[in-house]
Amino acid sequence: MNVLVTGAGGYIGRVVARDLITYKHRVRAVDMRPMSDELQDTQTFDLNDYETLHKTVKGMDGIAHLAWPMHPYENYTPAEHSDLGAGVGILYHLLKTAVDCGVKRFVFQSTINITASDWDRWRLTEDALPRPGLGGYTLGKTLAEEVCRAFAREHDITVAVLRVGGVYTLEESGYEFAAPDQHGIPSSCVERRDIAQAYHLALTRDLPRRFEIFHIFHTRPGDRFPTSKARDILGFEPKYNFENLYLRR
C-alpha cells in the first residue's frame, strides 16, 4: 500500500513511518522538520500549504495522519499553528484532498484525554462520549474526531481513529525523556512500536463500518481503557506490555 505519513519527523511519527516500511508499505513521509535518513521518500513543507498538500496526496492508497500543531519549531514558524486553526483545519483539507484523490483509508491519531471528565469511572470503552472542555488541545482533537466521522458518513472513505494515552519507548534511540526510566509513565500507555503496529492494521484490515474508534494501549491487569475492540477487529496485540514497562524501571 502507498501510505502518506504526516508528522513523520515527530517522536511517534518517525517510528510509525519507519515501521510501516517493515510491514511492506511504500511510505511517503511529510513534516516541516527534518526527517530520518531511514526514510527515502520525504517531503518537507508546511501542511497549511494546501496546493503542495494536494500534489503530495496524489497516488496514495492510505494516509496515516499524526501531525498536530504543538508549537512553532526551531527556525520555522508555520503559517497557522493553533489546535483549532491548524489542527482541525489541516485535517479537514487533508480529508477533502484524500476524497478528491480517491484515497480509501485514513487513520487519525486522537487522544484518550478527551474523555478525562469521565475518569472518575475506572473502565471506559470507545463509546464514552468526549466532554473536552475549552482547552485547545482536547477540544481540537474532539472536533477532529467529528470531522473524521462526517467524512466517513458522506464519502466513500474508511476512517479509523486511534485514541492513545502516554507514549513511552524502550528503544535506546528514544529521546524527549519518554523512556520509563526517565520520567513517570501513566498506568495506561503504549510503546511507539505498538502504535506503528496499530496503524498498519487500521490501514489494512476490513472494518465493520466506515468510521471506527479504537483504544490503543499496552495490556496490564485491570485495563482502564480496554483494547478488546482493537484486538477483535484489527488483530492488535501489543508486544510491549505491563511486564516490559515495569521490568525496565
3-state secondary structure the chain: CEEEEECCCCCCHHHHHHHHHHCCCEEEEEECCCCCCCCCCEEECCCCCHHHHHHHHCCCCEEEECCCCCCCECCECCCCCCHHHHHHHHHHHHHHHHHHCCCCEEEEEEEHHHHHHHCCCCCCCCCCCCCCCCCHHHHHHHHHHHHHHHHHHHCCCEEEEEEECEEECCCCCCCCCCCCCCCCCCCCEEEHHHHHHHHHHHHHCCCCCCEEEEECCCCCCCCCCCCHHHHHHHCCCCCCCHHHHHHHC
Provide the pLDDT for residue 170. 81
Which residue reads 526517565 in cell numbers? 182
Provide the pLDDT for residue 217. 94
Provide the pLDDT for residue 146. 97
Alpha-carbon distance of 54 to 60, in angstroms, equals 11
pTM score, whole prediction = 0.92
Mean per-residue pLDDT over the chain, rounded = 88
Digit-coded pLDDT (tens) for 67-118: 998 666 666 666 666 777 789 999 999 999 999 999 999 999 999 999 988 8
pLDDT-flagged residues of the chain (< 50): 183
Going from N- to C-terminal start, the domains of the chain cover 2-248
| Fold (topology level) of 2-248 | Rossmann fold (3.40.50)
